Amino acid sequence: MANSKQTPTPVASFEVFYSQVLNPQGELVAPLPYFACDTDELIALYKNMVLTRTFDTKAIALQRTGKMGTYASSLGQEAIAAAIGHAMKAEDVLLPVYREYGAMFQRGVAMHELFLYWGGDERGMCYANQPQDFPIAVPIASQVPHAVGIAYAMKLRKEERVAVVVVGDGATSKGDFYEGINLAGAWNLPVVFITINNYWAISLPREAQTAAETICQKGIAGGVPGEQVDGNDVIGARSRISKAIEKARQGGGPSVIEPITYRMFDHTTADDASRYRDPEEVEKHKQLDPVMRMRKYLESINLWNDQDEQQLNDECSAKIDSEVNIYLDTPPQAPESMFDHLYAELPKAYQAQRDELLNQGGKDNG
Amino acid sequence: MAEVTLVEAVNLAMARALADDENVVVFGEDVGANGGVFRATEGLQQKFGDERVMDTPLAETVITGMAIGMAAQGLRPVLEIQFMGFIYSAVDQIINHAARLRNRTRGRITVPMVLRAPFGGGIHAPEHHSESTEAMFAHMPGLRVVIPSSPARAYGLLLAAIRDPDPVIFLEPKRIYRMVKQEVPDDGEALPLDVCFQLRDGDDVTLVSWGAMMHETLQAADQLAQQGISCDVIDVATIKPLDMETILKSVAKTGRCVIVHEAARTCGVGAEIAANLAEHGLLNLFAPVQRVTGYDTIMPYFRLENHYMPSTERIIKAVKKTLEAS
């Protein structure tokens, strides 16, 4: 008995992989994925990123000049959104956070709708050309259970569709995320969780968010495979996200993809990141820029030149100017509209309040 | 026609909805093989299969949030939260999402879901199993909150809730799950939401209640009738939106009102009813409105719960107070 010793033996083990196709210099460091044979697709990914960045610059300018409310910038994260937008099929459902503009454009959301949204108007979530995608999700991680339910409906109806839900690194500390991952794993649902690791959750750095070595291994805890990908490498990200989506579509179950990127702008226009992070860190990450990286690559294979760039910039500016005009020319909703989409039909009990609002300023008021 | 209890009527309504509409799915903790801890879902999984009647992991947030995603895809999810005391981790999903998506998207995405939860005290249950916090949901725009008080109303109101195009919090008074049996034809007929039900006609005082407390309220009305005091008795049934028209009409006739609820008094639904009476019916009142409610205490553990719950005697006393005042 004196020599008896309890000897734990391994009962589970896992590895987490990271991948990259284009390095920060725009050089191939891995074989090109199959989709990249289609050069039009490569150019489309690049154009989506440039359009998003131009949109972003304009949105910040609108906010700074008092023409729009608080805005969340996607600066530095354009590759992930472009990759998601191009990896999904039209019939899939996207549940974004608030930095996936490129994916939303790709799926039919209009720029003026996003300007309207950040301009304080609910109609900015009534996407005229995108019936099913969920709107921007503000409360953090709460969209994960929605994605699980959408995926359940798809599976129940035996449809070959996939729900793609995006969260940030901070959201993976919340219960909604764990509950969603766990259920998707237990029920083998067609859902892909994109946990964008942009290093900052407002002022909290990645190291302080969790002791987990990677964000994606949180999926593994729920039986859902997870992997990292360079989120500033649009080719690599597009490839790994597509693979996860197609696996889910074929009945292979959920995945977690953790694109590694960096939030280049403040959390929102209401934030001042200089209060909590070193500007040198931001400078350092400029070297990893996803847009410049892809441009260098396209130029290196003679798919892109300065003239193309000039033309694209002009096109993007013209497009965005016209969308800004639509936004600025959109009159506010009638005040009583706050009652008109509360329920399918406004209950009788609230009719008097609607009338009260309509009569506001009249002799009946107060 | 068989007589059924309230919980059996809930089961009948779900079975009918599952049979009538392939988009209806029923799920929650222990609702499948076990048939629910109160047997509300008994036999449903056997009859409709485990793809439409599902046992979920133990996770109220995803159970509720998942229903929102399902509803957005055109399903009609009916989920069970095992006890109201466990509903709070799902409140973010209910308030921030279920209640808001239609409004946020200007009608593009809607959430026709039903969240069922047994609630209320009086069954000597463990801690966190006896709360009545319906007012919390009645405060939230975009929701409906429905509480049946008889087998027939449980059947008809639950069918209405499942068919409703908006989210409904359906709270089941578990103390009276098996208290009475009633003939309930399984005819698929829904009852109207958003209206009160008049259970007794009287001239002297209006008694307003809902859920399990209807039982004591009706007892009080019966005892008062023997003393020559006749009561209008109203089952509110849908506490949000509130049908004040019926209550005001009754009070215009009786001039007196006693509101009975098990929930704590402060900011309870009774306060909303009393405020409405003050705003729109004050000149019809002969006496101050009385509230007979649970106290503003933590719901006591079961050795003391009967001291907390409004009793028939307390209701009668309150009625007499309104009669003495004028």
Q: What is the pLDDT of residues B267-321, one digit of tens each?
A: 999 999 999 999 999 999 999 999 999 999 999 999 999 999 999 999 999 999 9
Q: Identify the pLDDT of residue B210.
A: 98
- Calpha distance B237→B213 (Å, rounded): 12
Asked if residue A2 is part of any domain, the answer here is no
The answer on A177 and A121 residing in a single domain is yes
A112, A267, A285, A295: the active-site residue: A267
Instruction: Give the chain A residue nearest B164 (alpha carbons).
Output: A344
The answer on A255 and A155 residing in a single domain is yes
Q: Identify the pLDDT of residue A3.
A: 67
Per-residue DSSP letters for B256-318? -EEEEEEEESTT-HHHHHHHHHHHHSGGG-SS--EEEEE-SSPPPPTTSHHHHS--HHHHHHH
- Calpha distance B83→B85 (Å, rounded): 5
Respond yes or no on whether ipTM tops 0.95: yes
Token code pair at residue B281: 């019916």
- Calpha distance A39→A308 (Å, rounded): 15
Q: Does A128 touch chain B (CB under 8 A)?
A: no
Q: Does A134 touch chain B (CB under 8 A)?
A: yes
Q: Identify the pLDDT of residue B325.
A: 84
Q: Does A109 touch chain B (CB under 8 A)?
A: no
Instruction: Give the chain A residue nearest B57 (alpha carbons).
Output: A183
Chain B residues lying within 8 Å of A117, measured CB to CB:
none
Q: Are A288 and A297 in contact (CB under 8 A)?
A: no
Residue A196: in which H helix or E strand, if any?
Answer: strand A191-196
User: Counting every residue, how long is chain B?
Assistant: 326
Asked if residue A116 is part of any domain, the answer here is yes
Instruction: Give the chain B residue nearest A93 (alpha carbons).
Output: B73
Q: Which of B70, B108, B164 sits opposite A152 (nearest CB)?
A: B70
Asked if residue A166 is part of any domain, the answer here is yes
Q: Identify the pLDDT of residue A365.
A: 40
CA A91-A94-A100 angle, to 5 degrees, is 135
Q: What is the pLDDT of residues A87-100, one digit of tens each?
A: 999 999 999 999 99
> Going residue by residue through chain A (366 aa), what tens digit of pLDDT does each one get?
566 789 999 999 999 999 999 999 999 999 999 999 999 999 999 999 999 999 999 999 999 999 999 999 999 999 999 999 999 999 999 999 999 999 999 999 999 999 999 999 999 999 999 999 999 999 999 999 999 999 999 999 999 999 999 999 999 999 999 999 999 999 999 999 999 999 999 999 999 999 999 999 999 999 999 999 999 999 999 999 999 999 999 999 999 999 999 999 999 999 999 999 999 999 999 999 999 999 999 999 999 999 999 999 999 999 999 999 999 999 999 999 999 999 999 999 999 999 999 998 544 443
Q: Which of B59, B69, B241 sits opposite A347 (nearest CB)?
A: B241
Q: Per the CB < 8 Å rule, is A152 touching B69? A: yes
Strands B3-4 and B182-183: antiparallel
Amino acid occupying residue A13:
S
* SS3 state of residue B113: coil
- Calpha distance A164→A154 (Å, rounded): 12
The answer on A149 and A134 residing in a single domain is yes
The answer on A236 and A360 residing in a single domain is no
A18, A64, A276, A350: the active-site residue: A276
Instruction: Give the chain B residue nearest A155 (alpha carbons).
Output: B51
- Calpha distance B285→A106 (Å, rounded): 63
Residue B78: in which H helix or E strand, if any?
Answer: strand B76-80
The answer on A269 and A140 residing in a single domain is yes
Q: Which of A126, A156, A175 sits opposite B105 (nearest CB)?
A: A126
- The residue among A264, A267, A268 whose CA lies nearest residue A282 is A264
Q: Are A206 and A168 in contact (CB under 8 A)?
A: no
**Bond into B241 cis (ω within 30):** yes
Catalytic residue status for A276:
yes
- Calpha distance B125→A191 (Å, rounded): 39
Q: Per the CB < 8 Å rule, is A182 touching B242? A: no
Residue B92: in which H helix or E strand, if any?
Answer: helix B91-92
Q: Per the CB < 8 Å rule, is A148 touching B141? A: no
Q: Closest approach of chain A CAs to the CA of B294, in angstroms?
A: 26
User: Counting every residue, how long is chain A?
Assistant: 366
Q: Closest approach of chain B CAs to the CA of A151, in angstroms?
A: 8
Q: Per the CB < 8 Å rule, is B92 touching A134? A: no
Q: Closest approach of chain B CAs to the CA of A133, in angstroms?
A: 9
Enumerate the β-bridge partners of residue B118.
Answer: B172
What CATH number has the domain bearing residue A93? Answer: 3.40.50.970
Token code pair at residue A85: 């937008």
The answer on A327 and A350 residing in a single domain is no
Catalytic residue status for B129:
yes
Name the maximum alpha-carbon separation found in chain A.
Answer: 94
Chain B residues lying within 8 Å of A186, measured CB to CB:
57
Domain boundaries B197-324, corresponding CATH code? 3.40.50.920
- Calpha distance A123→A116 (Å, rounded): 7
Q: What is the pTM of this model?
A: 0.96
Q: Identify the pLDDT of residue B1.
A: 67
C-alpha atoms less than 13 angstroms from C-alpha of B281 in its C-beta half-sphere: 25
Strands A226-230 and A191-196: unpaired
The parent domain of residue A345 ranges over: 334-366
Best of B48, B50, B105 to disrupt the A interface by mutation (most A CBs within 10 Å)? B105
Number of domains present in the structure of chain A: 2
Asked if residue A6 is part of any domain, the answer here is no
Amino acid occupying residue A221:
A
Asked if residue A109 is part of any domain, the answer here is yes
A53, A107, A263, A293: the active-site residue: A263
- Burial pattern A286-322, b for ≥16 Cβ within 10 A else e, equals eebbbbbbbbbbbeeeeebeeebeeebeeebeeebee
- Calpha distance A145→B71 (Å, rounded): 12
B97, B129, B215, B261: the active-site residue: B129
Q: Per the CB < 8 Å rule, is A149 touching B67? A: yes
Q: Does A186 touch chain B (CB under 8 A)?
A: yes
Asked if residue A203 is part of any domain, the answer here is yes
Q: Does A176 touch chain B (CB under 8 A)?
A: yes
Which 8-state DSSP code applies to residue B187? Answer: S
- Do B3-183 and B197-324 come out as alike in CATH topology? yes
The answer on A240 and A344 residing in a single domain is no
User: Model confidence at B92, in pLDDT bands (50, 70, 90)?
Assistant: very high
Q: Are B67 and B40 in contact (CB under 8 A)?
A: no
Token code pair at residue B40: 């509300």
CATH 3.30.70.1520 corresponds to the domain B3-183:
no
Q: Per the CB < 8 Å rule, is A126 touching B72? A: no
Q: What is the pLDDT of residues B123-178, one digit of tens each?
A: 999 999 999 999 999 999 999 999 999 999 999 999 999 999 999 999 999 999 99
Asked if residue A1 is part of any domain, the answer here is no
Inter-chain Cβ pairs, chain A and chain B, closer than 8 A: 137
Asked if residue A206 is part of any domain, the answer here is yes
The answer on A39 and A123 residing in a single domain is yes
Q: Per the CB < 8 Å rule, is B106 touching A342? A: no
- Calpha distance A309→B291 (Å, rounded): 74
Q: What is the pLDDT of residues B43-52, one digit of tens each?
A: 999 999 999 9
Chain B residues lying within 8 Å of A131, measured CB to CB:
108
pLDDT at B242 over 60: yes
Q: Identify the pLDDT of residue A364.
A: 45
Q: Does A175 touch chain B (CB under 8 A)?
A: yes
Which 8-state DSSP code applies to residue A201? Answer: E
Q: Which of B68, B73, B243 sits opposite A349 (nearest CB)?
A: B243
The answer on A144 and A116 residing in a single domain is yes
Q: Are B151 and B179 in contact (CB under 8 A)?
A: no
Domain ranges of chain B: 3-183, 197-324
C-alpha atoms less than 13 angstroms from C-alpha of B61 in its C-beta half-sphere: 18
- The residue among B104, B63, B67, B115 whose CA lies nearest residue A138 is B104
User: Model confidence at B2, in pLDDT bands (50, 70, 90)?
Assistant: confident
- Calpha distance B193→B190 (Å, rounded): 9
The answer on A346 and A358 residing in a single domain is yes
Average pLDDT, whole number, for chain B?
Answer: 97
The answer on A271 and A184 residing in a single domain is yes
The answer on A65 and A201 residing in a single domain is yes
Q: Closest approach of chain A CAs to the CA of B136, in angstroms?
A: 18
Best of A146, A165, A348 to disrupt the B interface by mutation (most B CBs within 10 Å)? A146
